[in-house]
Amino acid sequence: MKTKRHPFYWLNQTLLLLLLLLAFSGKAQDKTLLWKVSGNGLTKSSYLFGTIHLLPKSDAKLPLKFKKIFNSCQQTCLEIDLQHTSQSQIMGIMKQITLPDDKTMKDYLSEIEYEKLIKIFRDTFHVELSSVNRLKPIFMISNLLDNSMNKDSVTAMEFMLTAENKKQGKNMVGLETLQEQMDVINLLPLDKQFNYLKDIANGKVKDYGVGSFKKLYSLYKAQDIAGLYNEEVQEDGEEMTEFNTQLIDKRNQKWIPKIAKIAAQRSTFFAFGAGHLYGKKGVINLLKKVGYRVTPVFK
């Protein structure tokens, strides 16, 4: 029986994949994923927690000290408010993951490339390409990453935090809407997406991002901020520079006034992808620049 996936599962997968396709670079920081935000007029401290959008279910939990801090906060803020996103919003997003004008992958690939992908999908992932060939490549490749792992044993940290927040009856808010997040993903041109598919067909991509994910996850589990921040999982090239800016830097800049406003109202546990925390244009540094004290919290 096919496992039914949470509506946000592919979006989380896609964001993870995009981070795998980008390089982490910058100055090393302390080995922790949790940071305290205080000062600048705050009457109660809030916290920043770096997540990873895909991880084994057995590891989808907070260390004891981190959980106590989570419990002490009045509300939770994720990239997207998973508790209050409507079904209509979800359905609107699902329509945007397919190729335009009823096209399929055959319209973008040579016959030889398409035949090679059919074999790779069938032999390696036990998936018929015809069942996913209307998806935009970035979403289809996310599905490959999913199929490379044990589907029933992986989840997203955001799902765990949402469930725990709901259990405690606390409020949840989001830094951006589902549509805003999708708009950023859609900035990656289709030709760049199909170039990656062509590399898979021509044998230039051997493990479909699984090896990079495992290395990244190992560093994440160790809370090795220096390792995460300096690990270059794949070279981007100049063509990805603007997309990198849109995916990370510009979103960080937009989040700062929102974080400030939300933290001023209630003590908040902010949780978003760890890749947003670090560097000169990372959330930690940007908050410091506008007057907050941001200090590491260790286990």
Whole-number Cα distances in Å, 206 to 7, 192, 290:
29, 18, 44
Rounded mean pLDDT, 251-277: 95
Parallel/antiparallel/unpaired status of strands 268-273 and 34-38:
unpaired
φ, ψ (nearest 5 deg) of residue 122: -70, -45
Asked if residue 5 has pLDDT above 50, the reply is: no
Of 128 and 240, more confident:
128
Q: State residue 265's pLDDT score.
A: 96
Q: Which residues pair with 38 in a beta bridge?
A: 293
Q: Report whether 273 contacts 11 (CB < 8 A).
A: no
- Tokens representing 194? 């199909």
Q: What is the mean pLDDT of residues 120-137?
A: 87
Q: Convert the pLDDT of each residue in 230-260 to its tens digit.
A: 554 344 455 566 677 778 889 999 999 999 9
Average pLDDT of the segment spanning 110-116: 95
Q: What angle do CA 136, 91, 150 make, to 5 degrees?
A: 60
The secondary structure element, H or E, covering residue 4 is none
Find the helix or strand (DSSP H, E) in which 36 lies: strand 34-38
Only one residue has tokens 């409507």, namely 86
3-state DSSP call for residue 269?
strand
pLDDT value at 154 more than 50 = yes
pLDDT of 21 reads 45
Extract the tokens encoding 125: 């992932």
The three-state secondary structure class of 208 is: coil
Q: What is the pLDDT of residues 46-102, one digit of tens each?
A: 999 998 877 788 888 888 999 999 999 999 999 999 888 877 877 878 788 899 999
In this predicted structure, the answer to whether residue 120 has a pLDDT above a threshold of 50 is: yes
How far, in Å, CA of 94 to CA of 121, rounded?
22
Smallest CA-to-CA distance from 80 within 19, 24, 159, 141 is with 159
The number of residues making up the chain comes to: 299
